[in-house]
A and B are shown apart, each in its own frame.
Chain A
């Protein structure tokens, strides 16, 4: 019996059942609890905004693929565009108008990812690129935060009303709802000369209940952290970047708060507010834009954390995660070049080991 088996196929002849789609789905699953909580907290406008942003991100990807004459369906099914849109959506103000979502979503996938060559080729985190672009272009809408108005509570908009809010903007009836985030409030008060003791901030531990306004990714801080730990447990990410980034925020915060408590926020507030936890677990750990080796990842994470703290404390914006991540993304190739893992049989510099025999 003689039979041919086609063209030579290289070893290995077996592989795991993993796939990019599986990885993206698990990350989205880890984000889901926080997102659903945010939906409940901010009501229908947030749901619609999320839908529009994710939809725009996927539309941008499909359009870019069409321009390249490539079939869109297989690429969209790998879930990376949806995940980019999701991360973007949870970093926007929950009651932002629809066109912010559309602009940001299209920007993220078209200019943040496909323009570089698609999955795996971009230098900067697409969600953060889009968020920064929208923040700089439309600062008014991007800093219009609302206090939480849980979905079925008195005065909260119903589904149709929520749709109208998203489409037409926040009507005067909800003016009392607009408010600032904790970091924004602290910065504004400090710039007015009122120090932290007087501005009477609430205890940061209550952030998770949602007493203070923020984006979907900010308010449910503990749920985000739980999702992040779950991802580490599932081996989607390692502990290096999250720990390093949180250390990069916590250490300067603790030191400076000890030096001058009236001027500098404490470590707990910093860690639980803004996009610190979202950034540490979901954004800075993006595979494509972060270094490959453990030592490089620690440096990258720490840099993200330190930059976040610097921008929050001394720069013009109250929230620094997006800028910090982009700055460190630009350093990733250099970090990768200088911090490679040690090769078996070679020393740290790459020279062969000396024989002792």
Chain B
């Protein structure tokens, strides 16, 4: 009996050590993930995540230093995609997904100070000094950088209106509740 116990234990120890050595010395460097993560982010370099741009945010995500919920304009969809890519579990119930939003100028209050134009990462605000500004809908990414700098609070975030062309059928409710 001692023979069988001994031989099995010896095999286990040997094979376990082999696996341990292999995992240390034959490990694969994970670097292409950074480019993939960066592709998932919106790309407007708005800085709301706290990093200088989307590339730096991707590096931090790849290293595991940043949470997957770091991107407010990306919303729940981006957080889910990042979590799936990185293989992390994340509780998204707290992430408020207000849906895609864009900035909107209340023209009566706008004083034409041009401060919002300077911070918009995609040049989505048009206007000139002392002229009323306006937001080009197609270019706005919803990063909200302009909201913070407006001195008169003329800028606000509004949900993107649903049009006939963009409406889709909702998924039917499943039979299993």
Structural contact, A70 and B169, CB atoms closer than 8 A? no
**A32 to B75 CA separation, bound complex (whole angstroms):** 59
Q: Is B24 an interface residue (CB 8 A)?
A: no
Which of A8, A70, A117 contacts B177 (CB under 8 A)? A70
> In which size bucket is the chain B interface?
under 10
**Interface residues in B163-177 (C-beta closer than 8 Å to A):** 169, 172, 176-177
User: How many residue pairs between the two chains, A and B, have CB atoms under 8 Å in the bound complex?
Assistant: 6
Structural contact, A118 and B169, CB atoms closer than 8 A? no
Residues 93-129 of A, flagged 1 when their CB comes within 8 A of B and 0 if not, give 0000000000000000000000001100000000000
Chain B nearest CB: distance from A114 CB in Å?
12
> In which size bucket is the chain A interface?
under 10
What are the residues of chain A within 8 A of B169 when measuring CB–CB? Answer: 8, 10
**A118 to B172 CA separation, bound complex (whole angstroms):** 19
Chain A nearest CB: distance from B170 CB in Å?
9
What are the residues of chain A within 8 A of B177 when measuring CB–CB? Answer: 70
Task: Output the nearest chain B residue to A119 by Cβ-Cβ distance.
Answer: B175
Residue of B169, B172, B176, B177 with most partner-chain A CB within 10 A: B176
Chain B nearest CB: distance from A234 CB in Å?
25
Chain B nearest CB: distance from A67 CB in Å?
14
What are the residues of chain B within 8 A of A118 when measuring CB–CB? Answer: 176
**A287 to B82 CA separation, bound complex (whole angstroms):** 39
What are the residues of chain B within 8 A of A70 when measuring CB–CB? Answer: 177
**A20 to B169 CA separation, bound complex (whole angstroms):** 27
**A179 to B169 CA separation, bound complex (whole angstroms):** 64
What are the residues of chain B within 8 A of A10 when measuring CB–CB? Answer: 169, 172
What are the residues of chain B within 8 A of A117 when measuring CB–CB? Answer: 176
Residues 142-177 of B, flagged 1 when their CB comes within 8 A of A and 0 if not, give 000000000000000000000000000100100011
Could you list 6 A-B pairs, sorted by A, with CB under 8 Å? A8-B169, A10-B169, A10-B172, A70-B177, A117-B176, A118-B176
